[in-house]
Structure formats: structure tokens, C-alpha cells
Structure 1
Amino acid sequence: MDVPIASNRPQTSRPRGICRYHQAPRGCFTGDKCKFLHAKPPESPDSESLKTSVTPYDAAKSCRYYANGYCKRGSECWFRHVIEPNATRGTKNPGIEEELFCSVCLEKPVTFGLLDGCNHVFCIQCIRQWRDPSNKHGDLADSMNMKKCPMCRSPSKFVTPSSSFWSSGEEGKAKAIQAYKESMAKVPCRYFQYSKLQNRKKPFCPFGRDCFYRHLNGDGTPYIFRDGVDVYMRVRISSFLRIFCIDSL
């Protein structure tokens, strides 16, 4: 899948001027590696077209994050979303994603939302909206259905963003989930950080040991919760969020 490069992409290397061979009958032999602009000479030296033009060398650059499994910029990425021939991200047929469409909006996802409990296809926007409790009311908000697949109702504790779709049991899905967890573990947990301001001796996170974000003691060592989301979300989340909302007013 080759996602169009964002139109507002800046230059990532300094062009050396207009390529003298681009307009020649035989063309430019350098092709995608040319670091000169492939454009017509401007009418004035201060032409805006030169400042916003991208060289073939820049335009051919591939996104290294997409190649590793996930680019959070999606269609707004400045670089090409392609898998190089010598890249190995699994044994999947490179053309298989062309046939996959989101089960909700029926569009082809730029970024997939992988559920750990089933193999249904969703774009990251649709599945996150389904699982978001803020826009749910009544029985649906009180039930756990929004934490299940909207198609088969298989429970999934989290959603993994991925630039490729992987089915359960495939090595690529396990790698995508692990890479996502490692990335999140570098970010401080906002619930944990806020709770330490209220009670430094008894920090809190509604997800407990199931949280992907970083929990650190004052001395830099990891803080380990005894229980996970199944306990803390039901026992203490209501009181914690009530305090959180009051203090935020």
C-alpha cells in the first residue's frame, strides 16, 4: 500500500537548483536519486514554486516507521508508505491489504486497529470511537460491550494501531502488539502522575498492572500494582474520576 505523500510536506534535504537534464530530450538518468529540482525554470529567482518544490530524492524517501509496522502520522506522513523489496515484515502477501476494508465505515484503512481477541478488520478511528465511553449513554455505557468487537463480541482489552493487518496467530501481530507496548511504556501514565499529587504514598491507575504506560517510584524504580483493570476499574475508578473532574473545574 502506497499512501499519497502529504501535500504540506517540507523539504527534508536542500535542493541544489533546477536539474539541467530534466527538460532535455533524454531526461535525467539519476531518476529518484536526483537531488536537483525536476521543474521548469521559474520566471523570477524568488518564485514560491522553488521554495515548496520537493526533489525526486526527497519524494522517493520511504517512511521507516511504516516499514517497522506502524506510522502514527498515517496519511499525513511526509514519506512514502511502501515496503521495500528487501524488507521482511512477515510472510504475508504484499497485495493482501488491498482487499481489506473496515467493517464499520467500509473504507480501506490507512491505519488498522488490531483487536487481540478476534480477526475482524477495523480502521483505527472507527474502533476507537466504538470503544470510547464518553459518547455512550444508558445501558451501553454500563455494559462491557463497547470493549468487545462490534461484529463478534469477542472481548479485547486494548487496540493496537498498525500500518498492516495481521490475523491472530501470525508473527506480525505479536510483533505489532509488542512494539506498541514498548512504545507506550516510555510515556508517563497521566492517571498515575496525577494521583501522586494527591497521595504520594498511595498512587493509583485505573488500569493497574495492565496499563501500558510508565509507572515509576520517586527513586526511578518501577511501581508494580497488585491487580489489573478488572479490579481497579470497577472498585475505584468512579471515585477517582469524580475527584479528577472536580479539581479540573
Structure 2
Amino acid sequence: MSYRRSQTICRFHSLGSCRFGNLCRYSHDATPNEIQSPQISALADEVVENDLQKRREVVATTSSYSRQMTWANAPEFVPRYKANPAEVLSTEGVQDICPYGGSCIWGSKCSYPLHMEICRMCDLYCLHPRDRNQRREHNRECLEQHEQAMELSFAIARSKDKTCGICFDTVLEKKGRERRFGILSKCKHIFCLTCIRTWRKAHNFEPTVTRGCPECRVFSGFVCPSAYWVDTKEDKEKLLNEYRAGMGTKDCKYFNRGSGKCPFGNKCFYRHRRRCDVNQTESNAPNSD
């Protein structure tokens, strides 16, 4: 059975690695900009897999009409009984939907009057031809998933050539957990998380030196881990705020539920909570700045 190929250019093919090849629903007419490294290809595959999973979730929540009707529920297989008029009205639209969706093998000879229509965004037959609320909800969710996938693709493209200013390796070509950036709060220089943390833990220099950037010496109070590089002020501020919020949900190991003393005091990102479940900030503790 042949499938109609969308005119939309496949963004993963343009990055150099579409795992579906000739079976991809999107157009592969555009030539990839450049050959990607295996690590970047693996990241692109991750984006494909995540995008497909999210699309399946969207279809699962918005195309219930096509799932609720199966051959077992067809009229010829269901025993006759006196139906409730209210139930008939509520399920009439569902029972008119062909369970094969947009790829019905019966074509014009199909006994079902309605077939799910194709969504131009995800190229899946999941839009009810008469239910405007279902169509509107699916289009909204599908657009959100598409925007998230595009943001992730742009983040990979923005980060793929960035090299650490200490080890001079390309950060996204590192292995495992070492494939992360260390974002300094007051500096725009690029470092991998492992190198910048090692620098800040060094004991052969004064703390005022190690707490600064190895290149420009600008002091930064903390380092934020990130899977991708951020270069705009807005994106960086969003990343730092999310990092602080995430740390605020974890108990501080130095404060130890009131049994210890945190050296960072009110500058600590972690939660200072006593055993009686009362949060407490030590205002007289040393300032980390």
C-alpha cells in the first residue's frame, strides 16, 4: 500500500540523520547541510523517538473515536437489545466512524459513512470530520508538540560545534554524563560541566580565583548543568530559574534537617527544613558572593 508523502521538508533529514529513510512521511528533497558526527546523529534519533512518542500521546488523547469502534462492536456481532435513546444519541457519532481510519481497505465500498481526516501537522488520520471541539483540541496539542520538537532541534544545532575552553573538546561529542555544558551565571564562555567543576574545586588557588571564569576572571556564584548551550539572556535566565527551582525541592545535606550548619546560608539553593517540617533560612551564615 502506498502512502502520500507530505510536502513538508523533514527537519531530521536536513540535520543529516532521518532514521525512517524512504519510509518517512516527510519530504527528503532538501540536501542535508553537512554530515553529522555519530554523537549528533544519536541525539537526532532521540529527538525523532521523543517526537513520535509525543505524537502517539496526542493521537491517543484526541482520536478516541477511531479507537472505540472495533470489529467486535460492529452491529452484526452485537446481540440485539432495547437501547436507551440517550445512549444511542451519545454514541451515534462514534459508531459511524470507520475503524480503519484514513487507510480503509474498502475504499468507496466501506459501509461506514465517516472516516477520520488527516492532520496536516502530523500527517496522521486523527481528525473527526464533524467534531469541531476534537479537531480544535488536537490541532492545539499537535502544534505544541511540534514547537517543542523544533526548539529541541534548534538547541542541538546551536550546541553541536561548541568546544570547551579548558579541554578544547566538542562538548556534544563527549560520552555519557560528560556530554553536558557548565553554564556560568555571570559569564558567556563555554565549558563542559566536568572541566569547570574541576576548576572550581581546585585548592592551589584562592577561592576568588577559582570562583571566577578561567578566561575572563568574572566571578560567578554557581554553575548550572545544561544538556544544550544557551546564548541569549532570556534563555539563560529561564535555565537558571528552573535550576534554582529544582534544587529548592531537595534537602540540603549540610543543614541536615537542622542537625548541621550550611556554609552557604541564605544563598543556598537547597531546602533548609528541620525535622518538624519547618523551612528555615540562616540569615547569619556567610554570604557566598
> TM-score scaled to structure 1, two decimals?
0.51
Residue from 173, 191, 210 that aligns with 1:146: 210
Mark the runs of 5 or more structure 1 residues left unpaired by the alignment: 3-26, 32-56, 64-83, 198-202, 234-249
Give the distance between the partners of 1:118 and 1:124, measured in 2 at CA.
14
Residue from 222, 226, 231 that aligns with 1:158: 222
Is the 2:47–2:152 Cα contact (8 Å) retained in structure 1?
Answer: no
Aligned residue in 1 for 2:274: 217
- For 1:34-49, list aligned pairs within 5 A: none
Is the 1:192–1:205 Cα contact (8 Å) retained in structure 2?
Answer: yes
**SS of alignment partner, residue 122 of structure 1:** coil
Aligned residue in 2 for 1:77: none
**SS of alignment partner, residue 164 of structure 1:** coil
Residue from 41, 47, 50 that aligns with 1:62: 50
> TM-score scaled to structure 2, two decimals?
0.44
TM-superposition CA deviations, 1:117-159 (whole Å, max 9, x none): 11000000000000014xx23xx1x341000000000000100
**AA in 2 matched with 1:107:** D
Q: Which moved more, 1:181-190 or 1:111-120?
A: 181-190
Greater relative contact order: 1 or 2 (C-alpha under 8 angstroms, separation 6 or more)? 1
Give the distance between the partners of 1:151 and 1:183, measured in 2 at CA.
29
- For 1:63-82, list aligned pairs within 5 A: none
Give the distance between the partners of 1:91 and 1:30, measured in 2 at CA.
17
Q: Which has the higher helix share?
A: 2
Q: Structure 1 211/92 Cα, relative in aligned 2: closer, same or farther at 3 Å?
A: same
Is the 2:156–2:228 Cα contact (8 Å) retained in structure 1?
Answer: no
**SS of alignment partner, residue 221 of structure 1:** coil
**AA in 2 matched with 1:188:** D
TM-superposition CA deviations, 1:81-134 (whole Å, max 9, x none): xxx75216599675222221111111121211000111000000000000014x
Shift of 1:192: 0.3
Give the distance between the partners of 1:146 and 1:190, measured in 2 at CA.
23
TM-superposition CA deviations, 1:30-89 (whole Å, max 9, x none): 99xxxxxxxxxxxxxxxxxxxxxxxxx9995339xxxxxxxxxxxxxxxxxxxx752165
**AA in 1 matched with 2:247:** M
Question: What number of residue pairs does the alignment pair up?
Answer: 150
Aligned residue in 2 for 1:123: 192
Is the 1:89–1:172 Cα contact (8 Å) retained in structure 2?
Answer: no
Shift of 1:216: 0.9
- For 1:1-249, list aligned pairs within 5 A: 61-62=49-50, 85-87=146-148, 89=151, 95-109=157-171, 110-133=179-202, 136-137=203-204, 140=205, 142-167=206-231, 170-193=233-256, 196-197=258-259, 204-227=261-284, 229-230=286-287
**AA in 2 matched with 1:160:** C
Is the 2:248–2:269 Cα contact (8 Å) retained in structure 1?
Answer: yes
**SS of alignment partner, residue 190 of structure 1:** coil
Give the distance between the partners of 2:161 and 2:239, measured in 1 at CA.
20
Is the 2:272–2:280 Cα contact (8 Å) retained in structure 1?
Answer: yes
Q: Structure 1 28/115 Cα, relative in aligned 2: closer, same or farther at 3 Å?
A: closer
Mark the runs of 5 or more structure 2 residues left unpaired by the alignment: 1-11, 13-20, 26-44, 52-144, 172-178
Give the distance between the partners of 2:188 and 2:285, measured in 1 at CA.
25
Shift of 1:217: 2.8
**AA in 2 matched with 1:173:** K
**AA in 2 matched with 1:179:** E
Aligned residue in 2 for 1:247: none
TM-superposition CA deviations, 1:193-217 (whole Å, max 9, x none): 17x33xxxxx521000111111013
Q: CA RMSD in A?
A: 3.6
**SS of alignment partner, residue 159 of structure 2:** helix
Shift of 1:176: 1.0
Is the 2:267–2:287 Cα contact (8 Å) retained in structure 1?
Answer: no
Q: Point out the structure with max Rg over C-alpha.
A: 2
Is the 2:155–2:229 Cα contact (8 Å) retained in structure 1?
Answer: no
